[in-house]
Amino acid sequence: MRGILLRAGAGAILFSALSLAADVETHRRAAQHALQANQPDVAIHEYQAVLAADPQNLDAHANLGTLLFFKGAYDQALPQLRAALQLKPELWKLAALLGMSEKRAGDSHAQTDLEAAFSHLTEDRIRVQIGMELIEIYYASRDLNKAAGVAGVLRQLMPADPDVLYTAHRIYSDLADETTLAMVMTDSDSARMHQIMGQELARHGQTEAAISQYREALKLGPQMPGIHFELAELLAGSTSKPEQEIEQQYQAALAANPMDQKSECRLGEIAFRHSDLKAAYDHFARAVALAPDDGDANLGLGKTLVSMHEPQKATPLLERAVKAEPYSSVAHYRLAQAYRATGRAGEAESELAQFQKFKTMKERLGQVYKGMMLKPRADEAADPDIPKESPLR
């Protein structure tokens, strides 16, 4: 009799478990049907029923937390998302939702959870979304260094996204303002302070005033790295363009730093403009040796070789220049020249089309800078020996 009762009890337990499982499956299917019918409230109710029968159901916690998040019920989403992550911590998309829910609910754990999700997620779109959330947190606490670090990652993931670019611009501008203020508080008459003032004046097109600041900086700190090169760049963009002094400043920059490939390139440009192709070749060749992937160096050496009637040697250099600076209209133009000279007419036409495209973009950029009362950077200025209308066609 006792054995019969035990078997009967076991059967009852088994029947109860099967009944519970069937109940859970019924509610799970009902939730899925509700989602397919775009009835999130019904799905929420069904997942709650699943959890009432099976409190450790991972899918129900995850789906319920997700639905509550997108409904805007962040406080209610939190326990569901946390329960799901306790059951399976490596669900990083859920961790991202948890961090965003915490941020919207004012929970202090938001930063930690978003940082963890950001470091583990691999899908670009989601990483950008989480990164923007983190930047808002860092920005609110004025932790601009952390914000800049995340902005740098986002720019690599989505380099042409306007929101990412604007956010990075805002952070970098604030960092510049912050460091300028720190410099003023530290030493308002230092060589570096005059250099910063010169840079800001130059950005706003006040070239002559900027040159004055740089001359003062040079008096106070003649050995400062980069000071001769920056002054030479300003002089080259001034109305007077004192060529002898410009060349002297580039030479001084190179004397201070023999590894300065940019100064080698500028001296090469000066020689090229004076049709001294041997000197131009020597300067550009040294620049390429110092920095084999530098766009300016490869462009300079390539165009010099084209002028020396050696387009075969020029072609790989100009191809490397285009790879390094894909938006450079000048690089595309020079590569078109080399292709044309070596009989590659189809490729020349393609590069010429790219030249026209980026030339138009640069003209638009110039209008934007003009509207903002800013001066384009030296690498955005037009190459004086590139014609407005191409003679290659």
pTM for the model stands at 0.60
**Residue tagged 């030493």 (tokens):** 187
Query: What does the buried/exposed string (b/e) look like for 298-309 if buried means 16 or more CB atoms within 10 Å of the residue's CB?
Result: bbbbbbbbbbee
The pLDDT tens digits for 56-112 are 999 999 999 999 999 999 999 999 999 999 999 999 999 999 999 999 999 999 999
Query: What integer is the mean pLDDT of 189-209?
Result: 88
Query: What integer is the mean pLDDT of 165-184?
Result: 86
The pLDDT tens digits for 328-371 are 999 999 999 999 999 999 999 999 999 988 888 777 766 655 56
Residue 386: inside a domain: no
Residue 253: inside a domain: no
Q: What's the pLDDT band for 386 if we cut at 50, 70, 90?
A: low
The domain boundary, picked from 66, 92, 121, lies at 121
Residue 299: inside a domain: yes
Specify the pLDDT at position 15: 40
Q: Which helix (H) or strand (E) holds 74?
A: helix 74-87
Domain assignment of residue 313, given as a range:
258-372
Burial of residue 134, with CB atoms counted within 10 A of its CB: 0-12 exposed, 13-18 middle, 19 or more buried:
buried
Look up residue 309 and give its two tokens: 């009637």
The domain boundary, picked from 121, 144, 171, lies at 121
The domain boundary, picked from 83, 105, 121, lies at 121
Report the alpha-carbon angle 39-44-45, nearest 5: 100
Q: What is the CATH number of the domain that holds 77?
A: 1.25.40.10
DSSP state of 382: P
CB distance 280 to 253 below 8 Å: no
Residue 77: inside a domain: yes
Task: Look over the chain and give the mean of its residue pLDDT values, rounded to a whole number.
Answer: 87
The pLDDT tens digits for 206-247 are 999 999 999 999 999 888 888 999 999 999 988 888 999 999
Residue 112: inside a domain: yes
pLDDT higher than 90, residue 308? yes
pLDDT higher than 50, residue 380? no
Residue 305: inside a domain: yes
The total domain count for the chain is 2
Residue 283: inside a domain: yes
